[in-house]
Structure 1
């Protein structure tokens, strides 16, 4: 009897240990895949660079291949870093928002937060002629304004929040079209390329800004991850377990808006990365993990940029946002269908 009781007591601990080992293995695998696609984006393509030459270029040494230093340091490496940072921020913010709202559709791009930042940035760049920090501040203000409207009109109801976000996104898209019509041809062309979600013209100061904000976003959201997982079980239970509900919601919303806005001001609204990263990472890890969602977002963005730059037939190179949009559209349709599906009835008799 004592042996059976002891075996029964150790079974949950054994299960938890196996689950933790599986999560650790999956996290290491995601890190390795992220590193692999990052190296592929830097080394492969129309101009191939060997690993020894790449290391020498990073050290500041010149290699024998003509123009290799310029191509790596001004094209390949900046684009790879921008995709890495932007994808990580979008992935982490999307997973945090989905966990907070308890709905896989509640990503910043579906709710219209990304479009709020885009609208403000496009207005300031094309109509007012702003650049640099002014555009970043305007993008943050636009994202905060959209978030305030969503929270005010939704009144804490998740379905209403999603509907309000979709309606605002449609209205903001129309406003962007009006802004483009009011601008000249050159401004409209630059804005359209940016609105598609592109890292082709990213600069090192923008990468530095994105790295600082991305590090802040990831650290804060990772620190809140435990409370967010508890909130997924329901607000009353989370409050009963001591989770500071108001503080967690306010900080999460603020950090998500700032992260999405700053990233959008650098490379535009890269479609569906925030939507895809959360569900994929939850399927791999078995629960919401901010770090895993950030790695999945980085993988999607880097791979999408590589596909658009080198694997699309024809002479035209597609921005990364178009590739991720094509991949994310069917996933969005699947999420919409499954979220509206009624729960299955039990085959047993009703009690």
Structure 2
């Protein structure tokens, strides 16, 4: 076992990592602080999930929630927990994790803390696809989800092609994404003005981002997407870490930069569109989760797994706040994340300006 130290640009120590070497030259890098932070985030997510399952008009104590999940609850508790509330909580966990990991990928690829699906237009692309199905074709929930996925994927492909010029530069990607967001927002407003009142009301509910009424039909597709995409992204973590040092350095270390970047961006877009299809375009989770995870772990690199766990925690806490913090008026979770995220974005912009990066 060897021990290495990561240094910050100012020469201070960022974190200590241990490399466990196995047979055949294999190596596993462990950073104790990042490991502890990840376990802490997982524990917080588990506790919040149990609390959230017990939250509602019919309150259930956390211990009774655990007993019910283990198959020892009463018939009434079993119906409320397993049929009504557990799917909603699982959607929150999966959507938060998907957005957190997607945000970590985009911020690492663009080498910009503002690199987020919210600001790059992919969430708006999903919104346009869903709204087109709602307002033009009066489609059902399955059709709306398919429209959200198609809109997000088409937007991602368009942004990538426009931003590509002998490779993808971080700030060019952000600028193109912001321009795409403005155009797509105008298209959203146009679709709303042309829609019937019933369709416009339904569209506005979807646009806000909500976990209300989520059931197992949203859980399984999202779970399958995360089960496929998460290992793919995590498997590229080492290459992504090298790409953060610059394309030339990554090339010298044997990384196929453009192929890896395209693969990771495609994976992150799939995660974003799947999350939007399940719960609507929930804002700012993808922006804030990776940055908060990086500050918590103090680890170099993209912090993919920590970002996913932080995303789940943020969405679970926001959903709990949407149900409990405003009295009898329950708000869609997208309203809460928008309020918190707006404050966070202002703080991030001020911090980046003071650091001289914008």
TM-score, normalised to structure 2, is 0.86
Which blocks of at least 5 consecutive residues in structure 1 are unaligned? Answer: 1-8, 345-351
What do you get for the CA RMSD once the two structures are aligned?
2.4
How far did 1:226 drift?
Answer: 1.3
How far did 1:55 drift?
Answer: 4.0
Tell me the residue number matched to 2:311. 297
SS at match of 2:212: coil
Tell me the residue number matched to 2:40. 29
How far did 1:47 drift?
Answer: 2.6
Distance 1:295-1:11 versus aligned 2 partners, 3 A rule: closer
Distance 1:170-1:199 versus aligned 2 partners, 3 A rule: same
- Counterparts of 1:145 and 1:11, CA distance in 2: 43
Tell me the residue number matched to 1:125. 134
Tell me the residue number matched to 1:178. 190
How far did 1:220 drift?
Answer: 1.2
Tell me the residue number matched to 2:331. 318
Distance 1:342-1:43 versus aligned 2 partners, 3 A rule: closer
Which blocks of at least 5 consecutive residues in structure 2 are unaligned? Answer: 7-14, 20-29
1:56 and 1:63 in contact (8 A); partners too: no
How far did 1:152 drift?
Answer: 2.8
SS at match of 1:16: strand
The within-5 A match list for 1:211-230 is: 211-230=223-242
Tell me the residue number matched to 2:216. 204
Query: Within the alignment, does 1:339 sit opposite 2:348 as a pair?
Result: no
> Highest CA radius of gyration, 1 or 2?
1
The within-5 A match list for 1:281-296 is: 281-285=293-297, 286-287=299-300, 288-296=302-310
4+ long deviations beyond 6 Å: none
Query: How big is each residue's C-alpha offset from its partner over 1:140-162, in whole Å with a ceiling of 9 and x where there is no partner?
Result: 32222222332233232322321
Query: How big is each residue's C-alpha offset from its partner over 1:297-351, in whole Å with a ceiling of 9 and x where there is no partner?
Result: 00000100110111113x321111110111111221233333344649xxxxxxx
Query: Within the alignment, does 1:97 sit opposite 2:96 as a pair?
Result: no
How far did 1:259 drift?
Answer: 1.2
1:263 aligned residue (272, 275, 290): 275
How far did 1:73 drift?
Answer: 2.8
Query: How big is each residue's C-alpha offset from its partner over 1:166-212, in whole Å with a ceiling of 9 and x where there is no partner?
Result: 22212212211221222222222121111111010212111111111
- Counterparts of 1:202 and 1:250, CA distance in 2: 32
- Counterparts of 1:191 and 1:15, CA distance in 2: 49
- Counterparts of 2:322 and 2:269, CA distance in 1: 27
- Counterparts of 2:349 and 2:170, CA distance in 1: 14
Bigger fraction of residues in strand: 2
- Counterparts of 2:5 and 2:87, CA distance in 1: 47
The within-5 A match list for 1:55-204 is: 55-58=66-69, 63=74, 67-154=76-163, 155=165, 156-204=168-216
Bigger fraction of residues in helix: 1
- Counterparts of 1:91 and 1:217, CA distance in 2: 13
- Counterparts of 2:250 and 2:347, CA distance in 1: 29
Count how many residue pairs are aligned between Structure 1 and Structure 2: 333
